[in-house]
Structure 1
């Protein structure tokens, strides 16, 4: 039963409201003033407070300061736009003018009860999440992940630019969201942009906006993604793919706090915090002339390095169990668990696609599972425990990411299609093709046409 406190100095109205709400199964307490209500009750214990604006002593507005977080409805005989705006600014959920309609009041109370409970549930869920998983749901207890958590805790409250480094699929966007949610900008927008997914010819217009007629096809003015992040956080994933002209514009945003839309003659002020991420060696790109050194120094104020999944020890099993539970719930499947053999294979497999590959493998296994147990076969995991080491072949810890990729593709390309290979690696078919070209890994003749 929801509890309501009525603070009203007119006995007739207070008693009528009490009877009305009790008839609709609310638990009701009342008082003629804010002072008496505070003396008699714990104001924060109610689901809803209905307070008259004009009361003897403290105004009804004062109750919102004394009971923060409690849904408050302000009512008055002196309704005006100004007082309504003032009440809403102070945090009132609703504003009702006397004489009020009973149905209108009951509707406002029901809405207040519902929203108040949702807020409390949300706060409880966030508290549970923070307790179980220290940073925005990111799971990890190994030493490298503890260093990541410590770095996030230190840099998140600042406006410092952050560069997140790590292989593809390690969860760089999760770290960026954790930084945003723990910053002073958490109530502002977070705009995430994958620089590799936007064609070079369009990226400046997408990031910085354009004026009507700035180029062929610009039939109207358009706000850019940087401008959309005003007051919040701009996350540029794969910043190493940003073309040099766009890098120059981004540098101006960081140095001067302003942007100029494509085709515009006037600059606009913007207030954004930049978080960038890449799996590439930006220092080498600077040396090669593919990345501006002044921009590199601007974004590389604070680095957060994410370890590859193969370097995280027992975290792999904990993360896999978390992802399994989340996946079977999302897919509305019965509860599932890993077999002991699967757990052993999880820790021995090198995971070249990192967390993204693990997540894809688990989703496929959940879809294919006919029993409550996930086997290595369902996840397409090789059992490497008894496999002899081939002469001249390096073990997992000795391999670079590109060597892992090459070894994985060569081992599985005869038994898997390009689509299956890409899915198991946690990348797109286009990315698989591009890596094949760059590393010189030809496709086998019998699979030159992939069904």
Structure 2
């Protein structure tokens, strides 16, 4: 529950705003002027919402006095000059009165989220070999992940980690375990997709001697081995239905029963599960138990794919490159400018794991002290689903729908040759605007994904010029 201070001299507006925020679970205090706000100590709050024009000192006086608490400025004088001045002085955002309730609530939620994620620090993790490392990345999506890890770890609840293959789900599980109350106990990691379906129940829950053919001795299961600690089940969407039923009993009753045994044993295990699949969708087709999904999804952590972490990619690449150089005794190798551009713009369907493999390949193949794009061995991935059509050029009447060049040469019925001009427009638009726009901005203007933009560049032979982005040296 967030604490918000409203600074507004008109009592009617102040009371209405307070009721609105309290209905959305915020704790609200009020002040009618800057001195009254200072008496309440604005640094005790999570957000200050202040009118610009107040009796005596203006609301912008609170920006420095409340720091590091963000100040959201309101004013009935909706001019660009007052907005720019407030932002220049350090206001986190600006809203004009009379404001739309939904818009104000959305702004407050965004500011509070940014404030929470801004303070998040990447967790330190100890690898099985004893080496320590820190999770890499400071993009907003990863900041949200760090915050969720910090809040979830001590709570001793079941966690579901969702993300594509290679995004680091096991790393997150280790971070949660090592920041939990069970850190001194074992973390047992199981890849459900790597165990044959006929053996998975025996692996997880154990068996008695003679329980089935080949069971020459009793075996302790991995769930029991994690007693007192944490069990991490990776790719839990691959778990057979019979094993799902047994796992559900572990979560509900804290009990296991070995295959071939009539006795139950109590276990105290925290479960962390991970998957790249949509478990809710699998439950609708009968492939995953819905009741188990609800038991698993007490806390959920969504890991972003590498292609959505544009600001982090080169930082991750530098760290992985250093490790690869150490493994192969090639200290001093670095990425060329061209290689850095390719790494930054590649879609990375295999995420961090694919990036690590590409850099390992580059370290092995590089001649001299630089790694060039050819050393990385990257090639465009499978073609994506056809993207929405880009906007028509200004002043031109839109023509009939046509292929954007992603077809395999098969013409669709009803298309004339003279209508096939979108590739020309794409090439013209990119060449004209790439000096002023980033790849993300170009893709948004064209109505396509960054991956599709990259692939079309490769197919049409359009070189990428360096825009106004930060240096990639």
Deviation at 1:331? 2.3
Aligned counterparts, 1:412-451, within 5 A: none
* Consecutive unaligned residues in structure 1, runs of 5 or more: 1-130, 412-451
Deviation at 1:201? 0.6
- Cα 1:373–1:238, aligned 2, differ >3 Å: closer, same or farther? same
Q: Distance between the aligned counterparts of 2:187 and 2:206, measured in 1?
A: 17
Deviation at 1:322? 0.4
Q: Distance between the aligned counterparts of 1:400 and 1:234, measured in 2?
A: 37
* Aligned equivalent of 2:276: 279
Normalising by structure 2, report the TM-score: 0.54
Deviation at 1:258? 1.1
- The answer to whether the Cα contact below 8 Å between 2:185 and 2:229 also exists between their aligned partners in 1 is yes
- Cα 1:138–1:181, aligned 2, differ >3 Å: closer, same or farther? same
- Residue 378 of structure 1: SS of its match in structure 2? helix
* Aligned equivalent of 2:400: none
Aligned with residue 316 of structure 1, among 313, 317, 328 = 313
- Residue 141 of structure 2: SS of its match in structure 1? helix
Aligned counterparts, 1:233-272, within 5 A: 233-272=230-269
Deviations 1:404-433 (A, max 9, x none): 9xx99xx9xxxxxxxxxxxxxxxxxxxxxx
Q: Distance between the aligned counterparts of 2:220 and 2:333, measured in 1?
A: 46
* Aligned equivalent of 1:161: 158
* Aligned equivalent of 2:213: 216
* 2:372 pairs with 1:355: no
* Aligned equivalent of 2:191: 194
Structure showing the higher helix proportion among its residues: 1
- Cα 1:204–1:399, aligned 2, differ >3 Å: closer, same or farther? farther
Normalising by structure 1, report the TM-score: 0.57
- The answer to whether the Cα contact below 8 Å between 2:123 and 2:175 also exists between their aligned partners in 1 is no
* Aligned equivalent of 1:370: 367
- Residue 215 of structure 1: SS of its match in structure 2? coil
Aligned counterparts, 1:286-435, within 5 A: 286-381=283-378, 391-393=404-406, 398=448
- Cα 1:290–1:382, aligned 2, differ >3 Å: closer, same or farther? closer
- Cα 1:333–1:365, aligned 2, differ >3 Å: closer, same or farther? same
* Aligned equivalent of 2:437: none
Q: Distance between the aligned counterparts of 2:221 and 2:450, measured in 1?
A: 38
- The answer to whether the Cα contact below 8 Å between 1:345 and 1:383 also exists between their aligned partners in 2 is no
- The answer to whether the Cα contact below 8 Å between 1:135 and 1:149 also exists between their aligned partners in 2 is no
Q: Distance between the aligned counterparts of 2:124 and 2:140, measured in 1?
A: 15
Q: Distance between the aligned counterparts of 1:168 and 1:382, measured in 2?
A: 19
* 2:172 pairs with 1:175: yes
* Consecutive unaligned residues in structure 2, runs of 5 or more: 1-119, 126-133, 382-389, 391-402, 408-442, 460-473
Deviation at 1:269? 1.0
Q: Distance between the aligned counterparts of 1:291 and 1:318, measured in 2?
A: 38
- Residue 156 of structure 1: SS of its match in structure 2? helix
- The answer to whether the Cα contact below 8 Å between 1:140 and 1:319 also exists between their aligned partners in 2 is yes
Deviation at 1:134? 3.8
Q: Distance between the aligned counterparts of 1:383 and 1:244, measured in 2?
A: 38
Deviation at 1:327? 1.3
